[in-house]
Amino acid sequence: MDARALDEGHLGRAHTRVEGPDKVTGRALYSSDRVGPETATAHAALVTSTIARGRITGFDLEAAGRVPGLLGIFTHRDFAGAVAPVKHLMAGGFANSSHRPLDSEAIAYAGQIVALVVAETQEAAAAAAGAVRVAYAAEPAAGGFDAPGAETVRLADLKPHHEDIARGDAEAALHTAAVRIEARYETPVQHHNPIELFTTRAAWDGDRLTVHEPTRYVGAVQHGLAAQLGLDPAQVRVVAGLIGGHFGSKFALSQHTALVALAAKRLGRPVSLVPSRRQCFTIANYRPESRHRIRLGADRTGRFTALAHEADTVTSRFDPFVMEGAEVTASLYACPNIRTEERAVRVDRNTPGPMRAPPEVPFLFALESAVDEMAAALGMDPIELRRLNDTAVDPVSGKPFSTRPLMACFDAGAKAFGWSRRAPRPGSMRDGPWRVGLGCATSVRPVKIAAATMRVRLGPDGSAEVACAHHEIGNGITTLLAMGAADGLGVTVERVTVRLGDTDLPAAGISGGSSTTTSLMNALALGCGQIRETLAQAATGQGGRLAGHDPGRLRLADGRLVAPDGAGIALAEAVGPAGVETVAAFVPEGGDHETALAGLRQGHIGLSLGGGGKAVSWGFGAQFAEIHVHAETGEIRVARLTGAFAAGRILNPLTARSQLTGGMIWGLGSALLEETVLDGAAYRNPDLAEYLVPTAADAPEVEALLVPDPDDRVDALGLKGLGELGIIGVNAAIANAVHHATGRRIRSLPIRLEDVA
């Protein structure tokens, strides 16, 4: 790895998004936008189940059949057996759910797809879908925790790799602790609502299938579809243009993708599906509800002596997706006696999945609320309690943290936020009719990194191209790659073309786990380093214009290949008329090269932990919230959010801050607004009128500070990624501020005015 390849220049400085102008002028293409010949494309609509469990006993298609422009109504009678089973991505397969709709008359959850209707226009498809009548025989369904029929499974029994943590004797230490906190916390169901819906467009050319879908893993969709439809992966091309947000959705292969492809095949026409917002609550993944019991023991000085974290989270009957989070809460603070127990509760719902910082958001709400409760019980400042229990070593594994800037984040954040003006006693700060509360909480997230292959090309005219089958999800990776290639190849950002989101490009992994920057920038450094090396060897070889120079010290800069003494040759001469091209294959430290690359080329998920197994590498942050609670009405307003974050080397402070502040505002929504209400096993508020997210008027002053975090152990470039760090800890910071304002400890999210009025 030639880490120096990306050493200087554009990286590290603010740069606006290179695709920004296309996005704001409407030129940017998303998957359901004009991606094929409009006249030939047929439009699909879904019919979804109104019962949660049971079976279909019949269809009345007469009214639907009379809708002008109808091309076909496909049900299990048409598609049973047509889609071969594919396992969940987390179980070694490709799918976000292994459930197969339209395979039989069985209904496994509310909102399951029961028919795919295709017509000449989207309006006709929607009208016909609305006219389909389905008769069911319903059976009792378990909708969530406490429902009859819900089945609790120990995680250790469900997932072979999971181990509950037992270090020391937590029960005995809790028994003898001088100060003890025991509390139960709850978080609700939350649903993904990216602006771009979960669309699919499928078109056949003979036996070759092209799918346009906003997925964050084109490779998994390609290989999953091939397995489902009995095709060679080479017959399937998956294209994901710009993606209008995923945040954990658009995860692997969707259940509707193969159905759209089958309809396109039967009709001999491209078919485009744009499901409704309401349907996106049940045809995709979501954050399941969770319950936590935390017991925390400390001595009189505040040193933690025992931590027990028991957690239950919901999952579906048929998939192994579970939010596992106790490994982070167990490792966060110094503590000699730690016990965790995680359980999954299987219910009759669609399979949950990741949502921005999947486990850390609910698990740290619980732990960081409990830490605040402990500070109150001890009469200590909550930041000083965290400082006392800070640790340079992971208390569970005994490995060192590669860096541990947690308290640097608290110090920087406290200063910017004005923590020193906080009067310790709850309920003691007022602003007219408003009670004022200041709260804080920790944000941490393990660093993830994945293998990636990437083609890098440098032309004689100073143009360059970077290409791989990864994705622009709105996080700014296109901009980082253009900046990095400009630095690594000595050209301008404007001359770099970045191509992503297409299985025809060199294989890369999932846009997830905040691993995009860590993985792709390491692959880019490798590719730029290989090009520099090739050119330097040629130029310094016998008869070369730079013969006699040390090839290792030549650099590409300002359109030239240059030596330290200033001697150099123009790019056109260095690369020759055809230009130079390489395909870099990056594999994270500690990974087996062949296995990692084979997995990547077969569309499997391959995220590994930063730090190469020798150190524990996390991103860190300290979140601060000032909230105002109206003394009479209980109205809760967030006045300010301040976060200070340390996440390794920051490559573009502008897009980094955008990620962090966006996450913080989402955290506000999670703490005060977002909740999918369950009615039995159905979702009662599946639309943006009743599923509340923050509007611009709810967003307070938000400040994200970047704390230096040079880390030479996490990876060759010192990168940690921060796509998910910004949301973590905001729930607890707000709940802790509510306690400070009102003296009320709210342990169940979201916090509503009726909780504090």
**In whole angstroms, how close is the CB of 470 to ligand MOS at the nearest point?**
13
d(CA 366, CA 732): 7
Of 516 and 736, CB closest to ligand MOS: 516
Query: Which one of 346, 356, 471, 604 is in contact with ligand MOS (CB under 6 A)?
Result: 356
Q: 516-540 vs 477-489: helix axis angle to the nearest 10?
A: 20
Of 61 and 607, CB closest to ligand MOS: 607
d(CA 357, CA 667): 11
**In whole angstroms, how close is the CB of 670 to ligand MOS at the nearest point?**
13
Which of helix, strand or coil describes residue 312? strand
**In whole angstroms, how close is the CB of 520 to ligand MOS at the nearest point?**
14
Long-range contacts of 683-692 (CB under 8 A, 24+ apart): 683/110, 683/111, 683/189, 683/191, 683/281, 683/282, 686/111, 686/191, 686/277, 686/278, 686/280, 686/281, 686/282, 687/277, 687/278, 688/193, 688/277, 691/191, 691/193
Query: Which one of 513, 559, 603, 612 is in contact with ligand MOS (CB under 6 A)?
Result: 513
| 603 lies in the binding site for ligand MOS (CB under 6 A) | no
d(CA 354, CA 14): 30
Of 352 and 648, CB closest to ligand MOS: 352
Backbone angles phi, psi at 582, to 5 degrees: -145, 155
Of 125 and 468, CB closest to ligand MOS: 468
d(CA 248, CA 469): 18
Query: Which one of 93, 214, 358, 750 is in contact with ligand MOS (CB under 6 A)?
Result: 358
**In whole angstroms, how close is the CB of 721 to ligand MOS at the nearest point?**
10
Query: Which one of 352, 512, 568, 700 is in contact with ligand MOS (CB under 6 A)?
Result: 512
Compute the residue count for the chain: 757
Ordered alpha helix ranges (H), 195-254: 218-229
Q: Which stretch binds ligand MOS (CB under 6 A): 114-122, 164-172, 319-327, 353-361?
A: 353-361
Q: Which stretch binds ligand MOS (CB under 6 A): 98-106, 173-181, 350-358, 640-648?
A: 350-358
Long-range contacts of 592-595 (CB under 8 A, 24+ apart): none
**In whole angstroms, how close is the CB of 748 to ligand MOS at the nearest point?**
23
DSSP for 398-443, written as a single string? -PBBS---HHHHHHHHHHHHTGGG--SSTT--EETTEEEEEEEEEE
Of 96 and 736, CB closest to ligand MOS: 96
Of 56 and 749, CB closest to ligand MOS: 749
Of 636 and 725, CB closest to ligand MOS: 725
**In whole angstroms, how close is the CB of 438 to ligand MOS at the nearest point?**
29
10 Å Cβ neighbour count for 48? Answer: 21
Q: Which stretch binds ligand MOS (CB under 6 A): 125-133, 327-335, 348-356, 735-743?
A: 348-356
| 354 lies in the binding site for ligand MOS (CB under 6 A) | yes
3-state secondary structure 381-399: CHHHHHHHCCCCECCCCCC
**What does the CA dihedral 378, 382, 385, 387 come to, rounded to 10 degrees?**
-170
Q: Is 384 a catalytic residue?
A: no
Say which of 213, 373, 724, 754 is annotated catalytic: 724
d(CA 466, CA 501): 12
Which of the residues 236 through 255 are near ligand MOS (CB under 6 A)? Answer: 248
Of 354 and 606, CB closest to ligand MOS: 354
Which of helix, strand or coil describes residue 503? coil
750 upstream amide cis, omega within 30 of 0: yes
**In whole angstroms, how close is the CB of 383 to ligand MOS at the nearest point?**
28
| 325 lies in the binding site for ligand MOS (CB under 6 A) | no
Q: Which stretch binds ligand MOS (CB under 6 A): 137-145, 354-362, 392-400, 430-438?
A: 354-362
**In whole angstroms, how close is the CB of 546 to ligand MOS at the nearest point?**
45
Structure tokens at 59: 């269809």
| 355 lies in the binding site for ligand MOS (CB under 6 A) | yes
- The DSSP code for 482 is H
Q: Which stretch binds ligand MOS (CB under 6 A): 53-61, 93-101, 294-302, 355-363?
A: 355-363
Q: Which stretch binds ligand MOS (CB under 6 A): 34-42, 151-159, 351-359, 449-457?
A: 351-359
Of 323 and 672, CB closest to ligand MOS: 323
Is 600 within 8 Å of 509 (Cβ atoms)?
yes
Strand partners, 208: 205
Which of the residues 691 through 750 are near ligand MOS (CB under 6 A)? Answer: 724
**In whole angstroms, how close is the CB of 358 to ligand MOS at the nearest point?**
5
d(CA 62, CA 64): 5
Known catalytic residues are: 724
Residues that bind ligand MOS (CB under 6 A): 248, 354-356, 358, 512-513, 724
